[in-house]
């Protein structure tokens, strides 16, 4: 415990000294998402540490510093437990990037995670904070032996933003970042977010001439946004996460 405090103080001091003398770019990142999604694990990997199976749930906010390809990174690792979630947005005014982690292998919490994500997208978009959405644990999501026939979501019908009813037979589809984006409601090409209409709102074709033919409305996305799927365990696509962070 004392050693952890000394190390965190030393890291912070090193961060300040190197940012003054080495003129590196500084980036502050908040990493959020439901508990057990792999936030602390991703930070370990970005900081050059190995994957660990036995992790301790984060309590509150844990701040760490490291360098990543000539960038000085300060990370706010926010606890995912429900009681700590009100802390998430308190960090938004301090950061240059938000990373939102999703556990793609946990079909019990996927819908909750995606619903919370839509609120985060709207907040980040309002404040124009870049947002990187990371679907994690692809190593645990097995492909089915007998794939289902292509549905509208997979067939990329531009007018149909109907979402999959997620269950253990179709959750593997979200390993594809394009399908994950559509399930969230993010149209990366058109830079819009499709959100369900409230019952009090008029149908989409009355409120928005170019709107989709179903009961969603489109909100313009202003900030940088990307969707990636990774496995922290086997390291797949972690390099894409790093590339995206350092290009900011």
Q: Interface residues with ligand GTP (CB under 6 A)? A: 35-41, 52-53, 55, 57-58, 79-81, 101, 136-137, 139-140, 231-233
| Cα–Cα nearest to 107, from 59, 142, 56, 147 | 142
170 is in an annotated binding site: no
138 is in an annotated binding site: yes
Q: Out of Mg ion, ligand GTP, none, which partner does residue 144 contact, by CB within 5 to 8 A per kind?
A: none
Question: CA quadruple 98, 239, 138, 41: dihedral positive or negative?
Answer: negative
Q: Is 138 in the site for Mg ion (CB under 5 A)?
A: no
165 is in an annotated binding site: no
Question: CA quadruple 232, 234, 109, 223: dihedral positive or negative?
Answer: positive
Which residue, 84 or 244, is less far from Mg ion as judged by CB?
A: 84
39 is in an annotated binding site: yes
What is 56-80 written as a DSSP string? PPP-SEEEEEEEETTEEEEEEEE--
Count of residues of this chain found to bind Mg ion when the rule CB under 5 A is applied: 3
CB of 197 to ligand GTP, least distance (A): 32
**Measured between alpha carbons, how far is 161 from 220 in angstroms, rounded to an integer?**
16
Paired strand residues for 226: 132
Rounded (5°) CA angle 207-208-213: 100
Binding mask 40-79 for Mg ion (x = CB under 5 A): x-----------------x---------------------
Which residue, 57 or 144, is less far from ligand GTP as judged by CB?
A: 57
Q: In the chain, what is the greatest distance between 2 CA atoms, to the nearest angstrom? A: 62
139 is in an annotated binding site: yes
**Annotated binding residues for GTP, as ranges?**
33-40, 80, 136-139
| Residues that bind Mg ion in the complex, under the rule CB under 5 A | 39-40, 58
**Annotated binding residues for Mg(2+), as ranges?**
40, 58
């Amino acid at each position: 415990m004392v050693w952890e405090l000394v190390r965190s103080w030393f890291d912070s001091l090193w961060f300040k000294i190197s940012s003054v003398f080495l003129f590196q770019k500084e980036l502050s990142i908040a990493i959020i998402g439901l508990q057990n999604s792999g936030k602390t694990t991703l930070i370990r990997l970005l900081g050059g540490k190995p994957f660990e199976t036995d992790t301790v749930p984060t309590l509150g906010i844990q701040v760490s510093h490291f360098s990543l390809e000539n960038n000085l990174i300060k990370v706010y690792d926010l606890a995912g437990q429900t009681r700590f979630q009100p802390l998430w947005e308190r960090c938004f005014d301090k950061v240059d990037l938000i990373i939102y982690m999703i556990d793609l292998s946990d079909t019990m919490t996927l819908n909750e995670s995606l619903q919370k994500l839509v609120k985060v997208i709207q907040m980040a978009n309002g404040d124009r904070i870049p947002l990187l959405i990371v679907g994690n644990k692809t190593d645990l999501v097995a492909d089915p032996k007998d794939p289902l026939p292509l549905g509208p979501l997979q067939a990329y019908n531009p007018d149909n933003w109907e979402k999959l009813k997620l269950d253990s037979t179709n959750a593997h589809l979200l390993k594809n970042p394009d399908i994950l984006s559509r399930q969230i409601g993010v149209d990366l090409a058109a830079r819009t977010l499709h959100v369900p209409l409230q019952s009090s709102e008029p149908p989409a074709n009355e409120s928005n001439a170019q709107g989709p033919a179903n009961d969603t409305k489109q909100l313009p996305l202003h900030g940088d946004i990307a969707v990636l799927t990774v496995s922290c365990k086997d390291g797949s696509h972690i390099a894409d996460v790093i590339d995206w962070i350092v290009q900011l």
